[in-house]
């Protein structure tokens, strides 16, 4: 069994929000399915750190989750992205999964999961200079608390802890110290993030900060092919 990661699929099977208007996204759903099922088996697991679906509610999300659950191999572990407006409380999301028979999808939210030799933990995070963020500091502190809770749960399990965020916690010029402080206070050596699309400068896609390697895994950056996670050196 193997662990993979790919972010930002932006499914919109039941809503009018086509991603193929953007360069490189033509036929992306079929391409993703073909690439995914060629390398991911039913016994494998895949983490999707946010922007799962353009749906605004559970009803609109049903088609996207049906595709995710039934058409793509493996168990999927999903986190919240900035466009996941369907996101709700843990109880309501688990009820939605159970009621629809989506038995191969798990929610990562204030918790952690052991998958073979790895432990999955993470949260959405936040983009620290987003002009539309409102009370940015309050949101960041809330996300830092959620990350800390998830990683604390991860330490109770066995395996290498892998952190996942939707927003990048740093780039070549900026740092979200609140989130980085939490990450560095736990035995995390790998952190994967999404959110960034299109052309990304190499310095933003792969960054090292202390002992942690940060890697971009958005779907278009990975050319719609899940990335295999291996143990850190």
Place of tokens 């409102």: 134
Position 233 in a domain: no
52 lies in which domain range? 3-228
Burial classification of residue 41, based on how many CB atoms lie within 10 Å of its CB (0-12 exposed, 13-18 middle, 19 or more buried): exposed
Using pLDDT thresholds of 50, 70 and 90, give the confidence band for residue 77: very high
| Cβ contact 151:144 at 8 Å | no
The predicted model scores a pTM of 0.95
Segment 166-186, tens digit of pLDDT? 999 998 888 999 999 999 999
Position 141 in a domain: yes
Distance CA 162, CA 183 (A): 10
Q: Is the pLDDT of residue 132 over 60?
A: no
Q: Is the pLDDT of residue 76 over 80?
A: yes
Q: How many domains does the chain have?
A: 1
Distance CA 119, CA 158 (A): 7
Segment 202-211, tens digit of pLDDT? 678 899 999 9
Using pLDDT thresholds of 50, 70 and 90, give the confidence band for residue 128: low
Using pLDDT thresholds of 50, 70 and 90, give the confidence band for residue 233: low
Distance CA 110, CA 143 (A): 10
Using DSSP's 3-state secondary structure scheme, residue 207 falls into strand
Which backbone phi and psi does 35 adopt, to 5 degrees?
-65, -45
Q: What percent of the chain has pLDDT over 70?
A: 95
Dihedral of alpha carbons 189, 183, 205, 2, sign: positive
In the DSSP assignment, the letter for residue 62 is: H
3 state SS for 133-183: CCCHHHHHHHHHHHHHHHHHHHCCCCCEEEEEECCCCECCCCECHHHHHHH
Q: Is the pLDDT of residue 130 over 60?
A: no
CATH number at residue 69: 3.60.21.10
Q: What percent of the chain has pLDDT over 90?
A: 80
Burial classification of residue 206, based on how many CB atoms lie within 10 Å of its CB (0-12 exposed, 13-18 middle, 19 or more buried): exposed
Segment 8-28, tens digit of pLDDT? 999 999 988 888 878 889 999
> Hey, which residues does 209 pair with through a beta bridge?
212
Q: Is the pLDDT of residue 212 over 70?
A: yes
Query: What average pLDDT does the structure give for the chain?
Result: 93
Distance CA 39, CA 227 (A): 9
Angle at 110 between CA 106 and CA 115, to 5 degrees: 45
Lowest mean pLDDT among 89-98, 127-136, 144-153: 127-136
Q: Is the pLDDT of residue 127 over 80?
A: no
Distance CA 161, CA 174 (A): 25
Q: Which two tokens stand for residue 43?
A: 């016994």
């Amino acid at each position: 069994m193997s662990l993979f990661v790919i972010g930002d699929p932006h499914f919109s099977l039941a809503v009018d929000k086509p991603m193929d208007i953007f360069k490189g996204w033509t036929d992306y759903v079929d391409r993703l399915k073909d690439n995914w099922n060629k390398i991911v088996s039913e016994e494998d697991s895949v983490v999707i750190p946010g922007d799962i679906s353009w749906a605004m509610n559970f009803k609109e999300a049903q088609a996207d989750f049906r595709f995710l659950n039934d058409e793509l191999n493996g168990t999927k572990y999903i986190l919240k992205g900035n466009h996941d407006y369907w996101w709700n409380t843990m109880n309501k999301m688990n009820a939605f999964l159970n009621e629809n028979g989506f038995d191969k999808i798990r929610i990562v939210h204030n918790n952690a999961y052991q998958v073979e030799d790895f432990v999955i933990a993470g949260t959405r995070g936040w983009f620290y200079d987003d002009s539309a963020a409102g009370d940015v500091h309050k949101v960041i502190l809330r996300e830092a608390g959620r990350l800390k809770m998830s990683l604390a749960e991860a330490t109770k399990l066995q395996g290498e802890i892998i952190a996942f965020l939707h927003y990048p916690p740093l780039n070549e010029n900026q740092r979200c110290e609140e989130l980085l402080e939490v990450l560095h206070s736990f035995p995390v050596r790998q952190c994967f993030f999404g959110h960034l699309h299109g052309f990304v400068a190499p310095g933003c896609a792969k960054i090292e900060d202390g002992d942690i390697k940060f890697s971009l895994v958005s779907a278009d950056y990975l050319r719609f092919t899940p990335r295999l996670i291996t143990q850190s050196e």
